[in-house]
Amino acid sequence: MRAFVLTGPGEYTVQEVPAPVAAPGEAVIDVERVGVCGTDVELFTGDMAYLQQGLSAYPMRLGHEWSGRVTAVGDGVDPAWAGRRVMGDTMLGCGTCRRCRKGHQHVCEQRQELGVRGNRPGALAEQLAVPVTSLHALPESVDPVLGALVEPGGNALRAARATEALPGDRVLVLGPGTIGLLVAMFLRSAGAEVHLMGRTEDSLGFARHLGFERVWTEDSLPGLPYDAVVDASNAVHLPGLALDLVEPAGRVVYVGLAGAASRIDTRTLALKDVTGVGVLSASPGLDVTIAAYAEGVVDPRPLVAATVGLGEVGAVLAGERPTTAGPGPKIHVDPRLG
């Protein structure tokens, strides 16, 4: 089969590699869609911390936001999985440690992360093998595009829910990228008054196109009381700004990651009686996100600007936008294309 292989920082090739075989407890998937995300870019550039920590290494096969159809199952797997449309959890815990036993496999110390960590090949290939325990079935109303948006959507849904915003509460989302816009969509569906802060007119204009009227730059942000603030950015200074902007007794949710250490003043956290929440991984929110997409609570498909083949992935990771791309922030890959 064909697969996109990252061989070093900025170095890649599309290779013919052996097709996966379902080991006991695994399923083989025909991949239909894969999302390219910021983690993939960091692995492409060599800036990803896992590379320095020895948790990831080249060569690697990227891709952790995916959907497809089960074509084969290994020993010990219910044969009813065959033919089902699915997406899968990125975080693959060891299954035996204390965290896994408590249902927190997404923070397992020994976890593999599909296409990211622990030498588990990712989905930027025509086929993929994964543990069947990581699979989540997709209803017919969740098409391949939506299926590949479940993983980022799960992160966003968890962040939106962590604000504990009630209808009419005012919530500020920092960073109108894929995750930030998904957070905003889930908050809007819950009745919150959503504000978005970004840097470029293109990103803010796209947010307006999605129906968000209260969009600002840092310089134009109005001095309003915010019941919760979600930092979905990669800016080093914004975690501190989020804490400064939130109302006393409010909530700050951190789902974005900067390239360097961010600092907050815990005196402010305590003196304002603010609750701070960190969100890593979509794992606990995948089923709820699938249901939200199936029911039309949110429709994130406008976020996808273009769908390309494996041969165009390297250019996308290097920062090039396809010539036919729309204004959205997300690029999808269909491995069946040239």
Are 236 and 190 found together in one domain? yes
Are 104 and 233 found together in one domain? no
Position 312 in a domain: yes
Q: What integer pLDDT is reported at residue 68 of this predicted model?
A: 98
What are the residues whose beta carbons fall under 8 Å from the beta carbon of 126, sequence distance 6 or more?
Answer: 1, 2, 3, 19, 30, 31, 335, 336
Domain that holds residue 194: 156-278
Are 243 and 167 found together in one domain? yes
Are 209 and 242 found together in one domain? yes
Q: Could you tell me the end-to-end alpha-carbon distance of the chain, in angstroms, rounded to an integer?
A: 12
Are 133 and 220 found together in one domain? no
Chain center to CA of 163: 18
Are 138 and 160 found together in one domain? no
Are 110 and 164 found together in one domain? no
Q: What integer pLDDT is reported at residue 262 of this predicted model?
A: 93
The number of domains in the chain is: 2
Position 37 in a domain: yes
Distance separating alpha carbons of residues 153 and 180, to the nearest angstrom = 10
pTM of the model as a whole? 0.95
Are 62 and 176 found together in one domain? no
Are 11 and 114 found together in one domain? yes
Are 130 and 167 found together in one domain? no
DSSP 92-108: E--SSSHHHHTT-GGG-
Report pLDDT digits (tens) over 229-251: 999 999 999 999 999 999 999 99
Q: What integer pLDDT is reported at residue 259 of this predicted model?
A: 85
Q: What integer pLDDT is reported at residue 76 of this predicted model?
A: 96
Counting every residue written for the chain, the total comes to: 338
Are 45 and 76 found together in one domain? yes
Position 31 in a domain: yes
Residues of the chain with pLDDT under 50: none
Q: What integer pLDDT is reported at residue 99 of this predicted model?
A: 97
Position 286 in a domain: no
Are 101 and 238 found together in one domain? no
Position 295 in a domain: no
